[in-house]
Structure formats: structure tokens, C-alpha cells
Amino acid sequence: MAVHSKREIVAGLDDERFRTSFLPHPLPKYSFPRAETDPAAAYQQVHDELLLDGNSRQNLATFCQTWVEPEIRKLMDECIDKNMIDKDEYPQTAEIESRCVRMLADLWHAPDAGNTQGCSTTGSSEAAMLGGLAMKTRWRTKRQAARKGRPNLICGPVQICWHKFARYFDVELRQVPCERGRLHLTADEVIRRCDENTMGVVATLGVTHTLQYEPVEEIALALDDLEEERGLDIPLHVDAASGGFIAPFIHPSVEWDFRLPRVKSINASGHKFGLAPLGCGWAIWREAGDLPQGLIFRVKYLGGDMPTFALNFSRPGGQVIAQYYNFVRLGREGYTRITRECADVGAWLAEQVKKMGMFELVYDGRGGIPGCTWTLKKGGNYPFTLYDLADRLRVKGWQVPAYPMPANRSDLIVQRVVARLGVSRDLAGLLLEDLERAIQHFRRHPSSKSFTARSAGGYHHN
């Protein structure tokens, strides 16, 4: 029998496998550390803290992709050190970005897809701001002789990036309020607000609050009539953050894209229903002339130059590579199959929610973004609010937002689920079971109804 000295036993206990999980002191949190930390120990500490985050697959509030194929993870690893801005050093990454632009121009029916202008971005919010800058620059060129007035932009209940754009770039945002049963932008409301200083109109293909498409074609035709009657040539930008990767595949008869000559630019999120990892967006212009050349910078590479238009400089190339992988991996058939399956789950979930009897559907999952939106039926004496339900569902890990609609309809509180890739029928069924349990809980323990839009955490979009 081998006999070990005390010194040998202590040395064995100092092995990496034991030291990394039990640090002799807490890691610093609010001051820059003085000493190094073992990489395995640092990893374990950060890893353990991240266990306190929610499970992204149960986050039914987000439109962003939470599941990717293993091949995408490999490509992301291979591109972790590739900088999108270094066109000379990474010419093939630049080429792949260019291919994606042309593929999207083709998908969205640009008249000359092979020669259109577009770019990748960190998401649709940056892409929206680029679209806004192009509209403002075109307006400024047309109005330069008049030298009066402030540009205005007309929209409905838009995502907050448009409010940021208006504030950052000194634009009057003429947001059409929700009133009575109208919860999105309409052609009549647009025309009522147009004047000689209107630099553009933003129509949303998939409103964040309700998941419904705004009537892009009707708005475009109304703007055509306005130009004929009053001579006001006002461009239309489509914020297709989610819908740009949905409508082409399951709603092909909906005309919202460059088939409408009035539509001059489109932004979309690759990391939503484009199925790319987080940090991927796209801005595409109808024709090269719709993007003012004064906004484009030239970056030299391979003896030539690459046009670039962005609000940032250095950023990783992996997301664009992963987007291209999805395009060639899935094609139109694959995207159609996945999107239709997501839409089927959303519509099924809407039917089950309606059968509960106490909810009224605001959006039934058909004709817009996959998912559904509901509110409590009027006149019921419920022992809870939708905020209470949202909070109770978080006990089981679900993030199902409840929030008020925008100005003039803030009395309408809605709850919403987005049916992304990875939200299967089985997962939706588990959510329904927990929703029923939450309702039963409040029947036994009525809520004080103290939750509000402000106290309910991140469950609002204003």
C-alpha cells in the first residue's frame, strides 16, 4: 500500500481541476483588477454569473434568433478575427457581403438587382438610420434653393430607433397616433400630414406592438396620387425589420417592396427571421441613384475601391458570413418551409388562447409576423392584469411581454408572443399549460393589481 506524505496530498489538492471552481477570493466587479486570473477560473466565474440570465429560447418577447445550426457556430469561430471594414485584408468577406446585398435586392424585386446599392449593418436599427439619412440628404438637395423649413418624417407606431434618428439628426417626427380601432399607419393619415418639407414616409412591415403589416401598397398609391395632384414627390421607406424575411416566402401576393416604384429603400434584420446570429442587418436601396453619393466613403482594396456607408467602423464579419450560409443553405424553399411552420405555430397558439374565453385576439397570427397578440376581454372581473400574468410566467422562465399601446391608445394593454424558429408546437403547448396554471394561481390568490407598464420591467416598446 502506497503511503503519501502530507506535502504530496496538499500538492494534489492544488491541482487545476480543484482550484478553478473555488477561487480563494471574489473577482473584482467595479474596479480594474490588479493581478491575472487563471483562464479556467475566469471562465468559470463568468459562466456561473450568466446562469442567472433568462433562457433565450423561452424569451417569446424577442424577434431575434435564438437558435442556429452547428455549422453557423463553426463559421462564427472562423471569422472571430475578421474585421468587416478591412476590405483589402479580407476581400472574400467583402465579396460575400456584396453577394448578400444583391441576393436581397433580387428577393425584394429591385429593378436592377445586380447593380443596386446596399450594405450590411449591425442590425435593422442602424439600417433604418441609414435609410433616414439618405431621405434627409435627398430632401436637403431638393429644398436647398428654398432654404426654409425643417424636414419631417411621417410614421405610425414605430420602433424606438426612428425616435432616435429624429432626435439625433434634427428631424420632426410626425407620428400618427393610434385611435379607436386603428392601431397602425393608414394612407389617409399619411396624406393629411404631408407638406413640402416631408422628406419621407416610413411604413412598417410588422409593427412591433401587434405584429401586423402596415398597408404599404395603399400608402404608396396615395403618395402617387399626392404627387400628381400637388407635385410633392415623397419617397417611401419600408422598415421590414422582420417582415422582409417573411412576406417574400409566405405572403408573396402582398406588394410592399421595390415592385412599388414609390419604395426607395428597405431595412431588415438578418438576425430576426433572416436566421443569422445577433448583430446582422441590411439596408438596400431601389436603385443606385436613390442613395446619395455624398454619403458614400471609398475604402481602397485590391487596387480598386469599395463603397461603404455605415454609422460604425470596425465590426466582426461572422454575422455576414453566417447570413450568406443561410441563403445558400436554405434558399427560397427552406426559408418558405421554416417561415410557414413558424406561422402555423403562431396561428395555433392564437386559437388556443382564444378558447380560454377571457382573451380577445388583437392579432390572430395570420397575414403578418408569426405569433399572436391578445388583450383581456372588456367587462370581465379578472383577479389579475396582463402584467400579473407576464410576471407570473417568468417564475417558469417564460418572457411574454405585456405593455400598453402607444399614445392615444395607452388604455389598451396587450400581451404578445413571437413564434420564431425553435418555438415548436410542443414548446408553445408547454407555455399554454403554464398560462393556465398562472390563471388558476390568481383565482386562488387574487392580485393586488399593482403592476404597471413602468414596474413590469422591460415589457414595453415605447
How many Cβ atoms from other residues are within 10 Å of residue 353's Cβ?
23
Q: What is the pLDDT confidence band of residue 319, given thresholds at 50, 70 and 90?
A: very high
At a CB cut-off of 8 Å and minimum separation 6, what does 290 contact?
Answer: 117, 134, 138, 235, 264, 265
In this structure, the answer to whether residues 431 and 360 fall within a common structural domain is yes
Which of 299, 329, 359 is the endpoint of a domain?
329
Buried b (16+ CB within 10 A) or exposed e, 1-32: eeeeeeeeeeeeeeeeeeebeeeeeeeeeeee
Q: In the prediction, which pLDDT does 457 show?
A: 47
Task: Please give the average per-residue pLDDT across 251-272, as a whole number.
Answer: 98
Q: In the prediction, which pLDDT does 181 show?
A: 84
In this structure, the answer to whether residues 322 and 346 fall within a common structural domain is no
Q: What is the pLDDT confidence band of residue 448, given thresholds at 50, 70 and 90?
A: confident
Q: Answer whether residue 334 is part of any domain.
A: no
Start-end of H helices in 262-385: 318-355
Q: Which three cell numbers stand for residue 114?
A: 445586380
Would the pLDDT of 462 be above 50? no
Range of the domain at 95: 73-329
Would the pLDDT of 333 be above 70? yes
**Residues 249, 215: contact at Cβ < 8 Å?**
no
Q: Which three cell numbers stand for residue 416?
A: 404578445
Task: Please give the average per-residue pLDDT across 358-381, as a whole number.
Answer: 96
Q: How does strand 281-285 pair with strand 118-121?
A: antiparallel
Instruction: Give 118-130 pLDDT, tens digit per residue.
Output: 999 999 999 999 9
In this structure, the answer to whether residues 438 and 401 fall within a common structural domain is yes
Would the pLDDT of 304 be above 60? no
Q: What is the pLDDT confidence band of residue 439, given thresholds at 50, 70 and 90?
A: very high
Closest C-alpha to 197, from 225, 234, 231: 234
CATH number at residue 130: 3.40.640.10
Q: How far apart are CA 132 and CA 311, in angstroms?
A: 12
More confident residue, 284 or 10: 284
Name the least confident of 140-149, 352-361, 394-403, 453-462: 453-462
CATH number at residue 365: 3.90.1150.160
Q: Which three cell numbers stand for residue 406?
A: 402607444
Q: In the prediction, which pLDDT does 285 show?
A: 97
Q: Answer whether residue 114 is part of any domain.
A: yes
Residues constituting the chain: 462
Q: Answer whether residue 383 is part of any domain.
A: yes
Q: Answer whether residue 29 is part of any domain.
A: yes
Residue 147, burial from CB neighbour count under 10 angstroms (0-12, 13-18, 19+): exposed
Question: Which stretches of 270-421 are assigned E, i.e. beta strand?
Answer: 281-285, 297-301, 304-308, 359-363, 371-376, 402-404, 413-418
Q: Answer whether residue 415 is part of any domain.
A: yes
436: β partners: none
Which of 296, 329, 362 is the endpoint of a domain?
329
**Which residue has cell 448578400?**
100
In this structure, the answer to whether residues 185 and 137 fall within a common structural domain is yes
Q: How far apart are CA 97 and CA 119, in angstroms?
A: 7
Closest C-alpha to 362, from 209, 222, 192: 209
In this structure, the answer to whether residues 126 and 205 fall within a common structural domain is yes
Q: In the prediction, which pLDDT does 460 show?
A: 44
In this structure, the answer to whether residues 97 and 202 fall within a common structural domain is yes
Q: Which three cell numbers stand for residue 159?
A: 420602433
Give the 3-state secondary structure of residue 64.
coil
Q: Answer whether residue 459 is part of any domain.
A: no
In this structure, the answer to whether residues 325 and 346 fall within a common structural domain is no
Which amino acid appears at position 261 of this protein?
A: P
308: β partners: 297
More confident residue, 12 or 39: 39
Instruction: Give 211-224 pLDDT, tens digit per residue.
Output: 999 999 999 999 99
In this structure, the answer to whether residues 107 and 223 fall within a common structural domain is yes
| Domain count within the chain | 3
Which of 302, 329, 356 is the endpoint of a domain?
329
Q: Which three cell numbers stand for residue 224?
A: 402617387
Q: Answer whether residue 59 is part of any domain.
A: no
More confident residue, 200 or 36: 200
Q: Answer whether residue 60 is part of any domain.
A: no
Q: In the prediction, which pLDDT does 456 show?
A: 52
In this structure, the answer to whether residues 171 and 309 fall within a common structural domain is yes
Would the pLDDT of 148 be above 80? no
The secondary structure of residue 79, as a DSSP letter, is: T
Q: In the prediction, which pLDDT does 24 show?
A: 64
Residue 297, burial from CB neighbour count under 10 angstroms (0-12, 13-18, 19+): exposed
Q: In the prediction, which pLDDT does 45 show?
A: 86
In this structure, the answer to whether residues 281 and 363 fall within a common structural domain is no
Q: In the prediction, which pLDDT does 459 show?
A: 45
Would the pLDDT of 458 be above 50? no
Instruction: Give 43-80 pLDDT, tens digit per residue.
Output: 888 898 999 998 999 999 999 999 999 999 999 999 99
Name the least confident of 3-7, 153-157, 158-162: 3-7
In this structure, the answer to whether residues 267 and 137 fall within a common structural domain is yes
Task: Please give the average per-residue pLDDT across 374-382, as a whole number.
Answer: 93
Q: In the prediction, which pLDDT does 42 show?
A: 86
Helix (H) or strand (E) holding 308: strand 304-308
In this structure, the answer to whether residues 166 and 296 fall within a common structural domain is yes
Closest C-alpha to 215, from 192, 238, 241, 181: 238
Task: Please give the average per-residue pLDDT across 8-19, as a whole number.
Answer: 52
Task: Please give the average per-residue pLDDT across 227-231, as a whole number.
Answer: 96
Instruction: Give 405-421 pLDDT, tens digit per residue.
Output: 988 898 999 999 999 99
Closest C-alpha to 118, from 310, 275, 311, 282: 282
